[in-house]
Structure 1
Amino acid sequence: MIQVDHIGIAARNAESSARRLAEILGGPPPIVDGADDDMYRLDLAHGTFVLFNPAEKIDLSHVAFRVDQERFDAIVTRLRTLGVPFGNRHDDTNNGRSDDVELGGAGRVYFLDENGHLFEVTC
């Protein structure tokens, strides 16, 4: 068996980045983590989590989340409410569309965080 335990993401401001992603995904607030309490953990399902760690140099990441239709619709609503640009194409993250023609109309959105990381949510 192979299972993802966690994903580490570099951030200029780990707390702010973790809180913003939690807000968009509709998840619980992040938890302080790390030996120096300088990291922030965003818990997901099945024991997996995203760990934001402080860094001056940011290597850009692409992280995709799969959610059910109800959560997807709520995320799109939150993106709109928060004024976060999003789009249904990785190369056009601000076209405001959330359908995915390649997947037969299933939902897909991409958005960038404050560090330039590309997040994707699909259902």
Structure 2
Amino acid sequence: MPVQLNHTIVHSKNKRESAEFLARILDLEVGDEWGPFIPVELSNGVTLDFATTPEEPIAIQHYAFLVTEAEFDGIFQRIQDAGLTYYADPHRERPGEINHNDGGRGVYFMDPAGHALEAITRPYGGGES
């Protein structure tokens, strides 16, 4: 079997809030709590396991999600409906915009713990989605 990412732990201030936020924006399901984790499974089988941590501040991570054009439309609409600030760039210098890198579309936004989330319709470097 080739090497595959199976799961990763996402530290959060409130695991339920963060898991439900991501699931709502990406139109995914929140899994059943398992030990200290609340999982959100992506379509490729990778699970983001949300865990509440007492660490302050939380080490900010970046999570990028490759989505279809139709999924992007839904995600972007839910970002707007939630009144979230969104950006065209990772440095948050272009608020209220999306990007069109590599012929696709991309948007950056923050989760409740401060992690930088990104939805893109094309992988960087011009690869096919």
Structure 2 length as normaliser, TM-score? Answer: 0.85
Q: Is the 8 A contact 1:41 1:51 kept in 2?
A: yes
What stretches of structure 2 of length at least 5 have no aligned partner? 122-129
3-state DSSP of counterpart to 1:56: coil
- 1:66 aligned residue: 66
Deviation at 1:99, TM superposition (A): 2.6
> Residues of 2 paired with 1:79 and 1:113: CA distance?
11
**Higher helix proportion (structure 1 or 2):** 1
3-state DSSP of counterpart to 2:107: strand
Pick closer, same or farther for the CA change 1:22–1:89 going to 2, 3 Å.
same
Aligned mate of 1:112, from 90, 110, 113: 110
Cα distance per residue 1:52-92 (max 9 Å; x no partner):
01101111111111010000110000000011111110111
- 2:5 aligned residue: 4
- 1:24 aligned residue: 25
**1:20-59 equivalence runs, <5 A:** 20-34=21-35, 38-57=36-55, 58-59=58-59
What stretches of structure 1 of length at least 5 have no aligned partner? none
Q: Would you say 1:85 and 2:96 are equivalent positions?
A: no
Q: Is the 8 A contact 1:85 1:94 kept in 2?
A: no
State the superposition RMSD in angstroms. 1.5
Size of the aligned set, in residue pairs, is 118
Structure 1 length as normaliser, TM-score? Answer: 0.88
> Residues of 1 paired with 2:31 and 2:116: CA distance?
19
> Residues of 2 paired with 1:115 and 1:93: CA distance?
20
Identity %: 27
